[in-house]
Chains A and B, each alone.
Chain A
Amino acid sequence: MSSALRREQNRTTGTLLIPALAVIIIFTTVPALTTLSYAFFSWDGFQRSTFAGFENFQRLFSYPYLDQLTAALRHNTIAFIVIMAFQTSFGLLLAYAMFRVKRGLRVYRVVVFLPVIFSLVVVAYLWQSLLDPYYGPINQIITGLGVPELAKPWLGDTSTALPTLMFINIWRWVGFPAIVFLAGLNAINAEYIEAARIDGASESQIFRKIMFPLLAPSLTIITVLTFIGAYEWFDLPFVIGGSNGSPAGATDTLALMFYRLSFGSIDSGANNVGVGSALGVLIFTLVGFGAAFGSALLRRREVEQ
């Protein structure tokens, strides 16, 4: 590389990178570090008092927080695995279906993506009324089909609440991976596929051997975004189950726990900023390592292919 080009690149790096970094540092990094620093102080309500060392962490790892923490962590992990498995594979299936189908494609493209643009509040209210155990049409349909024992209180039973939330999440988001994958599929050089067809490869072989590997960058994006989304899952559980993760904490998540510890809740009173921030440190470390490790792994795989 010529030194003139290098100089120009250095200049370009500065002008293009610094504004973005500045915005992130000022409006994300600084407030985030401040929040994390709260974990090492004891608090009187919203007033910082003395330095507390690791006391808040000790409390976080004792009753009742420890039980809540392990339950929440379990729910986040289940959400990640299930959403990753179903949302991503359905998304891929829908994308491939749209790739193959010619008739009605324009309509399908619009419909598949439609729930993604709906406001979460709208989606939550909508499904809450659909799933209402008393008035809700879904249970009436199930009863009408002659299997009343399957008409469950979906969002109220501790065993079905979390799966139901994940279903609503998938209903709302599946269009996103679908469109990302469709873009990836359309970007594949048609000549590769033609050549494979001429060589006598079946459609499933073409999909597995040619298309899927070339979708790797899209898959990386989706995986990382799903990972972060799942471990910071907040809005849907909050709107539907409230800050305590109703029923009986069955839909509790790490972010919900952080929120109610930091601000208290309307119905149960006082907060504890110190323990809340200790939890924040924990979430941050956990998700940070996970995302960094995962994306490094996925990027390496991409390069190898």
Chain B
Amino acid sequence: MKISKIRGLVAALFAAVTVVAPGASIASANTEITFWSWRTEDKAFYESQMRLFEAKNPGITVKFTPYLNTEYNAIVATALTAGKGPDVIQMRPYGGMANLSDAGNFMPLTTADVPALKKLPVGILAGAQGYKDKKQYGLPYAVSALGVMYNPDILEKAGVRALPQTWAQLQTAFDKVKKAGFLPIGNAGGNGPALEQLHATVGPTFYGGTAFFNDVVAGKKTFTDKGYVASLKAVADLAKWMPANYQGIDYNTARGLFANEKAAFYIGGNYEIGYFRSLNPSITIGWFPAPKANAGAKRYVGTWADGAYAINAKTTQKAAALKLINFLGTKEFGQALVDEIAFIPTAPYVKINDPAVKEINRWRTTLGTPFLNVVGFRFENPTSSSILQPGFQKLIVGGTTPEQLAKDVQTAVASWYAPQKGKS
């Protein structure tokens, strides 16, 4: 009798627990959110940051998964289009994923939900907006800046005393470096996108930077503009300073030439600094903005928002995902971004300790001009980049002329970009 009573009690208790349990488990159990990225190289960084986030937000765990960058667009597009995918997504900037935004795959973010958005400048915010509806779909986390990186030790050995201010001075410096037995620049031609970035660094001073950007976007000027052709020619002119067999030197080898102190200069983005240091921790890297085309021209620093964090419109963990986005917009995260992987964070009030990054950021705020192709013309195919990347590879070996390449870009863009339609 007694035993069965106890049994009954236990059963009742058990039943009560199971009835209560669903509610209880929601309150106490873990919410897991998934977070996709293409930055396999930053896996360790993100994982340590996620542990910090989890410590601050008990009850939420984050599963961070980085994907092969070359396949990332296909993987994300496939998953989102089919109504699946992660809760939080690292989003490629501007045209990189705007088509997914326009199709309603990301949750629009408001400044009420994500206060950090209020502090970002318009040009940076544009990096994570829909192309058609211009709604904010992502929180841009980093900006990139283009310029000339140099190795002070090599410059000293070569007798280059002052940093080049003009295109002519740059070439004189290259000559001196070459005479001293070093490679002038590590940049090479094996990788189309790297050549495009090279052009975005040295080109704006030839075509007139932001003014030209605005005119082309408005349809007032075309890519066949004399200044733009001259900017393409500048890239062709750099070929003679590249290492021997430059057309076959791939991106990693090219960067390795600078990192391993064989080349004096590397023309490109601040995001390379992390890679240089991982190859050669003892390297000193200096930075200056691309020189002006001639004494009368202006100098520019190409810049753009380089990626954002967005929330899947179909997420079932909206609250937790927003918490994560807000964490990614904090000063602490921004600080870690610059301290650990040398990115320039969008988050304000971050103290940049790294002298090279500090210098870059200082110039960026005064001389910044939008990266023409990325900010303006990657929204539909054929993009200007898809013509220029293989085009530059042809140009530097004399397979095409600057005039022809400019014409090709114009024809491609005019085929879809309304303000340029019918113009040549």
Contact = CB atoms under 8 A, between A and B. Distances in A.
**Chains A and B directly touch (beta carbon < 8 Å):** yes
A191 to B, nearest CB: 55
B248 A45 contact: no
Contacts of B253: 132-135
A247 B383 contact: no
Contacts of A245: 390
B385 A269 contact: yes
Interface string A54-74: 000001000111000000000
A264 B399 contact: no
A46 interface: yes
Given A134-B253, A264-B381, A153 B246 contact: yes
B379 A64 contact: no
Contact of A263 (B77, B389, B408): B77
Contact of B98 (A63, A151, A262, A270): A270
Interface residues on A, range: 35 or more
Interface stretch (B26-34, B47-55, B186-194, B267-275): B186-194
Contact of A133 (B132, B196, B248): B248
Interface stretch (B67-75, B115-123, B158-166, B294-302): B67-75
A45 B99 contact: yes
A247 B378 CA distance: 21
A56 B99 CA distance: 18
A264 B249 contact: no
A259 B382 CA distance: 14
A270 B391 contact: no
A271 B381 contact: yes
Contact of A153 (B77, B249, B411): B249
A244 B381 contact: no
A156 interface: yes
B96 A156 contact: no
A246 to B, nearest CB: 6
A134 B243 CA distance: 9
Nearest to B96: A269
A271 B193 CA distance: 17
A interface, by DSSP: helix, strand, loop or mixed?
A: loop
Interface string B86-98: 0000001011101
Contacts of A259: 74
Interface in B374-410: 374, 377-383, 385-387, 389-391, 393-394, 397, 399, 408
A64 B193 contact: no
A270 B245 contact: no
A269 B245 contact: no
Contact of B70 (A65, A153, A155, A243): A243
Interface in A130-181: 131-135, 139, 151-158
B257 interface: yes
Contacts of A263: 73-74, 77
A268 B378 contact: yes
A29 interface: no
Nearest to B72: A266
A74 to B, nearest CB: 15
Given A156-B250, A266-B38, A267-B193, A46 B382 contact: no
Contacts of B98: 45, 270
B169 interface: no
Given A46-B103, A156-B249, A63 B189 contact: no
B415 interface: yes
A13 B217 CA distance: 65
Interface in A257-305: 259-272, 275
Contact of A156 (B77, B99, B248, B383): B248
Contacts of A158: 247, 393-394, 397, 399
Contacts of B393: 158, 246-248
A134 B250 CA distance: 10
A15 B266 CA distance: 66
Given A47-B103, A63-B412, A157-B247, A270 B74 contact: no
A154 B102 contact: no
Top 8 closest pairs, chain A to chain B, by CB: A153-B248, A156-B248, A45-B99, A269-B378, A267-B193, A248-B393, A268-B385, A133-B245
Given A264-B96, A270-B95, A271-B99, 8 more contacts: A64-B408, A132-B249, A155-B190, A156-B249, A157-B247, A270-B379, A270-B380, A271-B77
22 contacts: A46-B103, A63-B411, A63-B415, A64-B382, A64-B408, A128-B250, A133-B249, A134-B249, A153-B246, A156-B189, A156-B248, A243-B70, A246-B190, A247-B190, A260-B386, A261-B381, A264-B99, A266-B73, A268-B385, A269-B374, A269-B377, A270-B95
Interface of B: 38, 69-70, 72-74, 77, 80-81, 92, 94-96, 98-100, 102-103, 132, 189-193, 196, 243-250, 253, 257, 374, 377-383, 385-387, 389-391, 393-394, 397, 399, 408, 411-412, 415
